Structure 1
Amino acid sequence: MYHKISTLTSRTICSCVLLAVLSACSPRFDTATSPDFNKNWDFSLNQGEWSSVDLPHDWSVSFPFDSIKGEGATGYLLGGHGKYRKTFATTGLPVTYLYFDGVYNNATVSLNGEKLGFHPYGYSPFHYDISQKVNASGKSNELMVEVDRSRYADSRWYTGSGIYREVKLINEPALHVPPWGISVTTPEVSAAMATVRVKTKLVNKGAGTQDATLVTRLVDEKGNTVATQTTPVQLKAGAEQTLEQEITVTSPALWDVDAPNLYTAVSELKTGKEAVREYRTSFGIRSFRFDAATGFYLNGVNRKIKGVCLHHDGGLVGAAVPKAVWRRRLQTLKDGGCNAIRSAHNPASEEFLSLCDEMGFLVQDEFYDEWDYPKDKRKNMGESSSTDYITRGHHEHFQEWSKTDLQNTILAHRNHPSIIQWSIGNEIEWTYPRQKETTGFFGADANGNYFWNPPPYSTEKIKELQETIPRTKYQIGETAQKLADWTREIDTTRPVIANCILPSASYESGYADALDIIGFSYRRIMYDYAKENYPDLPVMGTENLGQYHEWKAVMERPWISGTFLWTGIDYLGESNGNWPQKHSSSGLLDLAGFPTPSYYMYKSLWTKEPMVYLTSQTLDKSIFKVEDKRVVERKPGGWKHALWSWHDVNHHWNYEDGETVIIEALSNCPEAELFLNGKSLGRQRLADNEDHIYKWAVPYTAGEVVVKAYADGKVVEYTLRTSAPPATVHLSTDGRLEGGIEHIIVELRDKNGNPVRHADREITFTASGAELLGVDNGAPSNTYAFQGGKVKTNNGKALAILRLKEGTSKLTVSASGLPDKTISLSSRRGYLSSALPSPSSSTTTN
């Protein structure tokens, strides 16, 4: 597991280094879990009729977007009161646990008419021991889960509603490992040898003393047992004990973002020669550390964290995201060079974290967006001035539930090798008025925008103001320390971090003192300030713009470990008062998972394999102009302050004859050349373009423009071709199938088969033998209901997601004025690798 060196408990001794080594995935409950427990639940919304649903389930995503009753903060989708009902029988085993990975939110759980408990936070896992409450083996039990999501604008992003993560019914013998009872750490790691420390908590809920043997085998990915240890145990009735085993692995295959090697710890409880229960724990072996002077190291190699922030929704499927949807999205990000994910701004699901383990992503797991005081869900900046019912959020439960939620999350997630940081909060400073006042940015004597300017006040003045301005009931530094202490009670193997929007105040309020690493939110301008004034505390960007200037600032400073861009993928919500825009447009991928220009910008920065990508725009709409036969910015140096959304560009080559068009190319190649209908329009050097964008001014002529990029003897190219009006609809899958989920990509094409990107059509979808989970085009202004079976293409494209049934399924697509198209699909097992076209090849697009 990841171990922080002991000297780090006091930052005054050695605050510049954080050392950590591998961890393991949470134990699987496969052998103990009732199969298909997530199937065939009854669901009722707002006291309506009962219907059958499978879990995970999000009821809000099935609603139409409502600009009247809805709120942009949560994507104009409403909430309500939902009830879930499940009838089940238990096995003959004496112990039964009921486990929830996440219910949004305010969940009341009852069994056979008796209340088990209330759980308000929508993102933390929880479980109940129902052994004494279930009926005798073979007899029926009724489980009821009531979800109060009437406060449908209780967050600043789309949350979903209902049991949107998996539920498990876990059956155990009297002597067993309870949920979260196994942890695997590796206190010593090298290429030659690793020490694997397995701690196994055992409980005896039987009537007498239990004698048993714990046999732990470490198994590699090929199924070979690489090491074994056996430990006897004797446990009295009602007692519990934690056994510790240290096992040596020689020549370990290390877990890395480029080679996410995993092992399995197979833990067998045996009485005599018989195995009572087997638990399987996936884990990896690796080391990492953060150094305040030189940045981040993984397995001893200094490298940058190339991360993105992700909210938990999957676009058209809402918050109940099938694994295949996440895999498609994560693979696209991986192909673009991304190696890290920040779970903004709440704990991730177990399934998501397991995918990150498997695919090789570093993870910052975040706990909270609110602490003692609420945020204004409609504005974000500042404490909540709203007292209306629908916006009251989790801060109302924070005092009572924060420790339980935080520590349960760590217990459930602590063993994932992907997790390298625990984040205790996001931009919390807004909710404590004193923090804004002490920065000097927001008062009458403010001398500049906090976004782009260094602090106007000296550290001495900020410290003085922190001591003299009247205090509120709760203090940010005290709460931060409390949360950090609770985190370290459970796990000292990963650093504690927070995303600070006003770090100049956080350094002096006690907030930064609670942290092992401080994260900056949109404050790259303060990287040098941090180095000068607080050199012993490691710093990195934890929320940054998907623009070139952000990465340039990281690359120029070895002490900055990396960044998490806002965002990796567009997400529902945070679109307050902007109807019909229902979501933000800051992602490297749009809401449908299609790459945006910022994706290709960062692919050019984060990958080494030669690539190039083209866009175009008319001169009058472009951010560029022609000056002395050169293409330059209309606002000189504007690229240095580019914000969340990429500037307006087109993905086609269809304009008026003779019209001046600006062609932009994004590439990691040192030279590029543009051709119009075979004629060269000039070769450029990337080094001569300080904004990292190749650009040409071209008089429009129908045909094709081709950019060729040159690197180390290799040539890659990208083509934009003039297209005729749409003549047909082209359907394709993206080459993946997992859990019966199929993505269908819809493209308009002309009579010659060229993609049409300048004209759109309304598309109607009809599924047969499959469930149509939803359709989307990725555009923020798309307000077609996801599950309405109809959408208008955006840039000539749309997406449908199907859940296939046994046998053959069909999807028929009808577009206005075009012939219908049908694609036939057969359910099959397995997962196919990505088949997305790469812009670094000779791909033709419009």
Structure 2
Amino acid sequence: MKNYLLCLMLIGCLLTSCNNDNPSKSRLTQVSTDFNFDWQFQLVDTTGNTAEWKNVRLPHDWSVEASFDSINGEGATGYLPGGTGLYQKKFPLQLKSDEKAYILFDGVYNNSEVFLNGEKVGVHPYGYSPFYFDISSYLNLEKDSNLIEVKVDRTRYADSRWYTGSGIYRDVKLLVKNKLHIPIWGVFVTTPKIEEKTAEVSVSVQIKNDFSEDKKAELRTEIYNQEGQKVNEDIISIETRGNSQTSALQSVSIENPVLWDVDNPYRYKAVTSILYDGEIIDQQETVFGVRSIRFDADEGFFLNGKNRKIKGVCLHHDGGLVGAAVPDDVWRRRLGKLKEAGCNAIRISHNPGSQAFLDLCDEMGFLVQDEFFDEWDNPKDKRKNMNEQSVDYITRGYTEHFQEWAEKDLKNTVLAHRNHPSIIQWSIGNEIEWTYPRNAEATGFFNNMEWQGNYFFSEPPYSVEQIKEKLNTLPKEKYDIGETAKKLAKWTRELDTTRYITANCILPSASHLSGYADVLDVVGYSYRRVIYDYGHKNYPNKVIMGTENLPQWHEWKAVMERPFISGLFLWTGIDYMGESNGGWPKKGTQSGLLNQAGFEKTPYHMMKTLWNDAPHLHLTTQSLEKSIYKLNGAGEPVEKKENGWEKALWFWHETNEHWNYSANESTVVEVYSNCDEVELFLNDTSFGRKKLDNFADHIYKWSVPFAEGELKAEGYIDGKKVDAIAQLKTAKEPHAVQLSVDKSELSANAYDVAHIVAQIIDLDGNPLRNVDSKISFSISGDVKLLGVDNGSARNVQDYQSTEIVTDKGRCLLVVQSNFDAGDVTISAESEGLKTGELILKIKADK
């Protein structure tokens, strides 16, 4: 837990100056100081005028604070503005003569410039990679005050896919170290040998000596288990020349190791210290896991020797109403729901994730594919996907910087992230083939007058030999996809050979032959499940899997039928802002299992029935007229488009989670379940017990004339009734606003977050999901309002508000603690309804 008071104490320890060049006299000032507080921010308008400075805490996303704008915004990035933002912070720090200071940014979007005391320290164009600067020589020597300034140029407000946010949207840390120290990201912990009763831990350490003379010291690494007990240590002597950097390798064993696993994400901690004359002068803690991973071309994926399927989802980095500056508790709620659905893996698409997000994946037991880039040598079209179709200033993206910055951004990401046990794959790129036109042409899918197939659901029209011939004869371009891929893979392997390198290939039939797939350990197929067999037949030694897939049953069915397919990543786990060109008022994309407020959608329950063994039932309804079904001769619902489920795309058919229709109206009732059989009741009258095997689309269905009362579904496995049931009751007139909260107690640390859900209910407490109303929240007490949302992709009401119109009768309020303890009263009122109220307790941070 981040601790602001500790931050102040640590900075205070650094105020005294002395002139001693002997590290033995230096106390340990190893600090990873939380530098997120006491910043000021101002926005610069298009004429160069600046707004008033306002106090902000980091992480901070200024775009999400604005109103959605259909005129000046772009659907690609959620109709929210960019601009130029300025940050500044005053802080006390005077170094001793044997100390160094660094500033570490986990992510600034984007084109940032950093100044200290009026001098330019450095720049960083990429908005997703971490970076740091040595600020030692820029600090004030004569006075105990420093001013850091960060300029962020987000005037290219449609420069990425998709919503990016604007500003210093990830954590910032100030680090003060002895001149003889472990550099930032200077420890790499691996577990090269794991047996039942012992595990070998290899600790590679960089040591930097910024003294002018050679230094001798000791390097000690202690291993602690998750309960805080020391299990082993290793001490070696080290010698470093002046003004140089060297490396050391330590080996430590763990007896009876507890393995990191998706079901038991057990973590150890390596504490690595430099000791000079017996005193610790520098120290770094590294959390790691003991685990093994293996991909096999025939048998799929193995974690700790156990064959298991990757049940993954793709996630963009926005958190709905908080934008890109996502508090840990917001991710924790969202990831927790995905975990409950059976999800065990996250593809961070299309750019590297934050340290905080990866920490949560380590803690909660998610496998991670960490993706470096969405663009390489050539730009993508930010509005319409694929290769660039229009050129204008606001869409200039990372391609502008790729040639100069790609190696540094990739290596910074690997160095910063490679100790996370959750990461199993590095992805060097997403759907890059679109930007090299000759690859698309070589497939035969496009501009081929002799072919009438469907790209998503047809095998390649050209044979392997024909594609090979095309790639050999089509005109060469300035950049070659295979050569660039080779370069990126080489840089990755220079720093980590313990993970598998992959890429999300949208045109794998060409990528297998262009040199692209040659450098990949795992070839990821994007929306190409129909050619899994084609790939395995023609390239039997290559590991292939789905890395971007439709959130549909037919995708998972294809995985389960093929042992050689390790799994998939659904697009997407959660609805996200952006990818809505010309879609106003739709500001985001609705392909998620959860919506933008983190509420479960119908496909969430479908995947929960596919990814879990525990019995699950979920009821939805729809009028027959509005449904995707018709009645057959036997009066049973069947698809209007026969076998349409086999080619269903991103967006689920419209369903309702209520039982409110006109008297005798024809309805279709769906039940999503993993039970062998389900029986449906309306007011205790059975509508029949049906078998799942009789529904190829994996959805139970009944035709039910509407009558007020209770719908109930009961499940059976192996002929025995299970405890799980699903119910819907006819709701009466709206009566009250009901409040619920995920955490009723927060720590006064200015980080903890509570999610308050307001639901319109009737007199009997039944939710009304077919009625909407304006909700006004009131907050009495010391918390920070983060915003409101109703989860709809078409909601363009301001997030930064205390009022919102519900969607499906509900909405979400998110608040964050400050530093004061006490009770906070939150109420929600709506015209004509009884006001809802709850109390949050804010406890003093320990």
**TM exceeds 0.5?**
yes
Please give the secondary structure, in 2, of the residue aligned with 1:95.
strand
Provide Cα deviations, 1:638-691, integer angstroms capped at 9, x if missing partner.
000111011000010000111111000001111100000011110011111111
Contact 1:766 1:812 in 2 (8 A): yes
CA shift, 1:137, in A, is 7.9
Counterpart residue number, 1:301? 306
Please give the secondary structure, in 2, of the residue aligned with 1:327.
helix
Counterpart residue number, 2:14? none
Matched, 1:826 2:824: no
Amino acid of the structure 1 residue aligned with 2:736: T
CA shift, 1:695, in A, is 0.7
Match of 2:635 among 621, 624, 629: 629
Matched, 1:704 2:710: yes
Which whole-Å CA distance do the structure 2 matches of 1:140 and 1:366 have between them?
39
Task: After TM superposition, list the pairs within 5 Å mapping 1:156-167 onto structure 2.
Answer: 156-167=161-172
Matched, 1:816 2:831: yes
Contact 1:80 1:150 in 2 (8 A): yes
Matched, 1:42 2:40: yes
Task: After TM superposition, list the pairs within 5 Å mapping 1:185-334 onto structure 2.
Answer: 185-334=190-339
Amino acid of the structure 2 residue aligned with 1:704: E
CA shift, 1:562, in A, is 0.2
Contact 2:29 2:178 in 1 (8 A): no
601 and 74 in structure 1: CA distance in 2 versus 1, 3 angstrom threshold: same
Q: Which moved more, 1:226-235 or 1:596-605?
A: 226-235
Task: After TM superposition, list the pairs within 5 Å mapping 1:573-722 onto structure 2.
Answer: 573-627=578-632, 628-711=634-717, 713=720, 714-722=722-730
193 and 823 in structure 1: CA distance in 2 versus 1, 3 angstrom threshold: same
367 and 829 in structure 1: CA distance in 2 versus 1, 3 angstrom threshold: farther
Amino acid of the structure 1 residue aligned with 2:730: T
Which whole-Å CA distance do the structure 1 matches of 2:703 and 2:271 have between them?
63
Match of 1:792 among 795, 805, 829: 805
Provide Cα deviations, 1:380-405, integer angstroms capped at 9, x if missing partner.
02x21211111111111111111110
Q: Which moved more, 1:532-541 or 1:269-278?
A: 269-278
RMSD: 1.5
Task: After TM superposition, list the pairs within 5 Å mapping 1:49-68 onto structure 2.
Answer: 49-68=52-71
Matched, 1:82 2:85: yes
Amino acid of the structure 2 residue aligned with 1:341: I
Which whole-Å CA distance do the structure 2 matches of 1:489 and 1:424 have between them?
14
Provide Cα deviations, 1:491-515, integer angstroms capped at 9, x if missing partner.
1111110001111111111111121
Amino acid of the structure 1 residue aligned with 2:767: P
Amino acid of the structure 2 residue aligned with 1:430: W
Provide Cα deviations, 1:689-719, integer angstroms capped at 9, x if missing partner.
1110011000110001000011254232110
Amino acid of the structure 2 residue aligned with 1:675: F
Matched, 1:771 2:784: yes
RCO higher in structure (CA 8 A, sep ≥6): 1
State the aligned residue count.
801
CA shift, 1:222, in A, is 1.3
Please give the secondary structure, in 1, of the residue aligned with 2:564.
coil
Contact 1:120 1:397 in 2 (8 A): yes
Contact 1:740 1:828 in 2 (8 A): no
Match of 1:408 among 408, 412, 423: 412
Contact 1:197 1:247 in 2 (8 A): yes
Contact 1:90 1:137 in 2 (8 A): no
Q: Which moved more, 1:543-552 or 1:241-250?
A: 241-250
Which whole-Å CA distance do the structure 2 matches of 1:352 and 1:495 have between them?
20
Counterpart residue number, 2:769? 757
Amino acid of the structure 1 residue aligned with 2:437: P
Please give the secondary structure, in 2, of the residue aligned with 1:724.
coil
Question: TM-score of the superposition, structure 1-length normalised?
Answer: 0.93
CA shift, 1:273, in A, is 2.9
462 and 792 in structure 1: CA distance in 2 versus 1, 3 angstrom threshold: same
Amino acid of the structure 2 residue aligned with 1:469: L
137 and 681 in structure 1: CA distance in 2 versus 1, 3 angstrom threshold: farther
Q: Which moved more, 1:697-706 or 1:226-235?
A: 226-235
Which whole-Å CA distance do the structure 1 matches of 2:40 and 2:80 have between them?
22
Which whole-Å CA distance do the structure 1 matches of 2:536 and 2:35 have between them?
53
152 and 598 in structure 1: CA distance in 2 versus 1, 3 angstrom threshold: same
Task: After TM superposition, list the pairs within 5 Å mapping 1:374-385 onto structure 2.
Answer: 374-381=379-386, 383-385=387-389
CA shift, 1:267, in A, is 1.5
Which whole-Å CA distance do the structure 2 matches of 1:788 and 1:574 have between them?
25
Which whole-Å CA distance do the structure 2 matches of 1:190 and 1:602 have between them?
35
Matched, 1:448 2:453: yes
824 and 375 in structure 1: CA distance in 2 versus 1, 3 angstrom threshold: same
Matched, 1:535 2:540: yes
187 and 36 in structure 1: CA distance in 2 versus 1, 3 angstrom threshold: closer
Which whole-Å CA distance do the structure 2 matches of 1:343 and 1:445 have between them?
38
Counterpart residue number, 1:491? 496
Amino acid of the structure 1 residue aligned with 2:391: T
Q: Which moved more, 1:98-107 or 1:227-236?
A: 227-236
Task: After TM superposition, list the pairs within 5 Å mapping 1:17-28 onto structure 2.
Answer: none
Which whole-Å CA distance do the structure 1 matches of 2:191 and 2:756 have between them?
43
Counterpart residue number, 2:12? none
Match of 1:748 among 760, 771, 782: 760
Which whole-Å CA distance do the structure 2 matches of 1:210 and 1:90 have between them?
26
200 and 571 in structure 1: CA distance in 2 versus 1, 3 angstrom threshold: same
Contact 1:76 1:582 in 2 (8 A): yes
Q: Which moved more, 1:444-453 or 1:366-375?
A: 444-453
Please give the secondary structure, in 2, of the residue aligned with 1:132.
helix
Counterpart residue number, 1:731? 739
Provide Cα deviations, 1:425-462, integer angstroms capped at 9, x if missing partner.
00111111111111111113333121110000101011
Counterpart residue number, 1:130? 135
CA shift, 1:35, in A, is 4.0
Matched, 1:362 2:377: no
CA shift, 1:820, in A, is 2.8
Matched, 1:781 2:794: yes
Counterpart residue number, 2:483? 478
Amino acid of the structure 2 residue aligned with 1:267: T
Segments of 5+ residues of structure 2 without an aligned counterpart are: 1-27, 45-49
600 and 31 in structure 1: CA distance in 2 versus 1, 3 angstrom threshold: farther
Amino acid of the structure 2 residue aligned with 1:41: W
Which whole-Å CA distance do the structure 1 matches of 2:379 and 2:804 have between them?
37
Please give the secondary structure, in 1, of the residue aligned with 2:588.
coil
Contact 1:123 1:347 in 2 (8 A): yes
Which whole-Å CA distance do the structure 1 matches of 2:177 and 2:94 have between them?
9
Please give the secondary structure, in 2, of the residue aligned with 1:617.
strand
CA shift, 1:193, in A, is 1.3
Contact 2:180 2:282 in 1 (8 A): no
Match of 1:802 among 815, 819, 824: 815
Please give the secondary structure, in 2, of the residue aligned with 1:399.
helix
Which whole-Å CA distance do the structure 1 matches of 2:476 and 2:179 have between them?
53
Counterpart residue number, 1:11? none
Amino acid of the structure 2 residue aligned with 1:63: A
Amino acid of the structure 1 residue aligned with 2:108: V
Counterpart residue number, 2:10? none
Match of 2:422 among 401, 418, 425: 418
Identity of aligned residues (%): 54
Provide Cα deviations, 1:14-55, integer angstroms capped at 9, x if missing partner.
xxxxxxxxxxxxxxxx97336442101111101221111111
Counterpart residue number, 2:112? 107
Which whole-Å CA distance do the structure 2 matches of 1:274 and 1:828 have between them?
37
Counterpart residue number, 2:400? 396
Which whole-Å CA distance do the structure 2 matches of 1:772 and 1:811 have between them?
11
Amino acid of the structure 1 residue aligned with 2:752: G
